[in-house]
């Protein structure tokens, strides 16, 4: 009877998380259409991103239910392949470094590392776990070899969190800490764009961030202040940004997902973007999977959120689909019981 009650509780948690995900993703799609109707623009990019997250999440849930080890391993290998091929994933001329495809090159290996670590935790204490751990380390080295310092740092952070996750007994505070880290990064980006930091700090950040990126952020913030309710319309930043017009090669993006949402879809769009991230973390908190799997996926998704806050990663379908896939892999219920690493479950 106790096991039946536990399964019923798991089903209820999953149903609540699924309903919340449908509501949030549906609101994102609807709001992009509303803002496009109000000011013009192209909502197709937002709609494609919403579809990619939903499709990736469904694929991850189905795959990990049937093959809890092989499915995340396959996802990790796919992410590794895309990391090498990502410069060819977007049409048109490649923007100059350090912008361009740098965000996607950093986000994809972080997701792949998270998938490999989830596969390792699902494999139990057998000989397969060290091999999957070696795969995660190899993905980190690949990120460094392709020239993505941010990707290598993100992969290393995911590996460290995954190793420490076995000692974590309560996943709630850990996931809250990850959400707080993403919030602090977004607040820092906003502070740079608003020129509220001391002059010395701003000058020190201009080197690693580049002057062009900071000018893009400031243009996005100015557009957001011009119409805080609805924004200027999805996809219209390229038309209205002075920094984009002055750049010979530009992809027309502000290279910051929070600022892009605020500029193109107003504060409601920004809140919906934050709601999607919170939904993913909440679904990991409520999942019946072992805590190391949930925290590893949460660390990878937080790393992607940080990359998206300072770069253009969400414009790549591979990144949005990969984020949904990893969340689905970490929240699926395997058909067969999986070995417990000794960590707490909710």
Q: How confident is the model at residue 10 (pLDDT cuts 50, 70, 90)?
A: low
Tell whether 345 is covered by a domain. no
- Could you tell me which of 345, 344, 341 has the C-alpha nearest to residue 126? 341
Task: Retrieve residue 164's tokens.
Answer: 């420490």
**Rounded CA gap, 126 and 333, in Å?**
21
Query: What whole-number distance in Å separates Cα of residue 161 and Cα of residue 32?
Result: 35
Is residue 200 one of the residues assigned to a domain?
Answer: yes
**Separation CA 242–CA 152 (nearest Å):** 33
286 Cβ contact partners less than 8 Å away, ≥ 6 residues apart:
13, 14, 16, 17, 346
Query: Torsion angle, CA of 85/163/285/331, rounded to 10 degrees?
Result: 50
Q: Tokens 């290393």 belong to which residue?
A: 156
Domain count, the chain: 1
The whole-model pTM stands at: 0.91
Query: Residue 223 is part of which domain span?
Result: 2-331
Q: Is residue 336 part of a domain?
A: no
User: Of 187, 259, 258, 267, nearest to 217 (Cα)?
Assistant: 259
The predicted model gives 175-200 an average pLDDT of 93
Instruction: Pull the structure tokens for residue 115.
Output: 């998938």
30 in a structural domain: yes
* Residue 1 pLDDT > 50: no
Rounded distance between C-alpha atoms, residue 165 and residue 167, angstroms: 5
pLDDT digits (tens, 9 = 90+) for 235-286: 899 888 888 888 766 777 899 999 999 999 999 999 999 999 999 999 999 9
Query: For the ranges 22-31, 100-109, 178-187, 268-277, which has the lowest average pLDDT?
Result: 100-109
CA 301 to centroid of chain Cα atoms: 4
The model's pLDDT over 105-157, given as tens digits with 9 standing for 90+, comes to: 899 999 999 999 999 999 877 788 999 999 999 999 999 998 888 999 999 99
Find how far residue 199's CA is from the centre of its chain.
31
Please indicate, yes or no, if residue 127 is contained in any of the structural domains. yes
The answer as to whether 52 is a domain residue is yes
Query: Tokens at residue 195, please?
Result: 């020129």
pLDDT score at 262: 95
Q: How far is CA 34 from CA 12, 65, 225, in A?
A: 33, 37, 19
Smallest CA-to-CA distance from 143 within 122, 177, 181, 114 is with 114
The span from the CA of 24 to the CA of 291, in Å, is 25
Average pLDDT for the chain: 87
Residue 92 in this model has a pLDDT that exceeds 50? no
Q: Is 318 inside any structural domain?
A: yes
CA distance linking residue 60 with residue 54, whole number of Å: 10
* 339 is a domain residue: no
């Amino acid at each position: 009877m106790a096991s039946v009650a536990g399964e019923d509780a798991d089903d209820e948690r999953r149903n609540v998380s699924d309903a919340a995900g449908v509501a949030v993703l549906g609101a994102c799609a609807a709001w992009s259409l509303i803002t496009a109707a109000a000011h013009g623009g192209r909502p197709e990019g937002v709609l494609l991103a919403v579809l990619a997250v939903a499709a990736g999440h469904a694929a991850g849930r189905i795959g990990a239910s049937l093959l809890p080890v092989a499915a995340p391993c396959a996802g990790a290998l796919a992410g590794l392949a895309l990391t090498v091929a990502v410069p060819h994933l977007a049409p048109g001329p490649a923007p100059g470094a350090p912008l361009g495809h740098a965000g996607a090159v950093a986000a994809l290996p972080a997701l792949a590392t998270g998938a490999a670590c989830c596969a390792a935790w699902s494999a139990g204490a057998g000989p397969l776990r060290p091999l999957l751990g070696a795969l995660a380390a190899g993905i980190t080295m690949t990120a460094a070899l392709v020239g993505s310092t941010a990707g290598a740092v993100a992969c290393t952070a995911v590996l460290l969190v995954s190793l420490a996750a076995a000692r974590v007994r309560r996943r709630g505070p850990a996931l809250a800490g990850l959400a707080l880290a993403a919030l602090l990064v977004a607040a820092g980006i906003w502070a740079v764009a608003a020129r509220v930091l001391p002059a010395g700090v701003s000058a020190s950040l201009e080197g690693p961030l580049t002057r062009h990126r900071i000018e893009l952020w400031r243009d996005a913030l100015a557009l957001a202040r011009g119409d805080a309710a609805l924004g200027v319309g999805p996809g219209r930043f390229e038309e209205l940004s002075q920094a984009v017009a002055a750049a010979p090669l530009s992809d027309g993006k502000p290279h910051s997902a929070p600022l892009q949402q605020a500029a193109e879809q107003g504060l409601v769009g920004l809140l919906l973007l934050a709601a999607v991230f919170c939904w993913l973390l909440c679904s990991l908190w409520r999942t019946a999977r072992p805590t190391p799997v949930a925290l590893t996926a949460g660390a990878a998704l937080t790393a992607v959120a940080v990359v998206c806050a300072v770069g253009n990663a969400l414009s790549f379908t591979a990144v949005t689909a990969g984020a949904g896939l990893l969340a689905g892999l970490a929240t699926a219920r395997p058909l067969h019981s999986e070995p417990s690493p000794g960590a707490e479950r909710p």
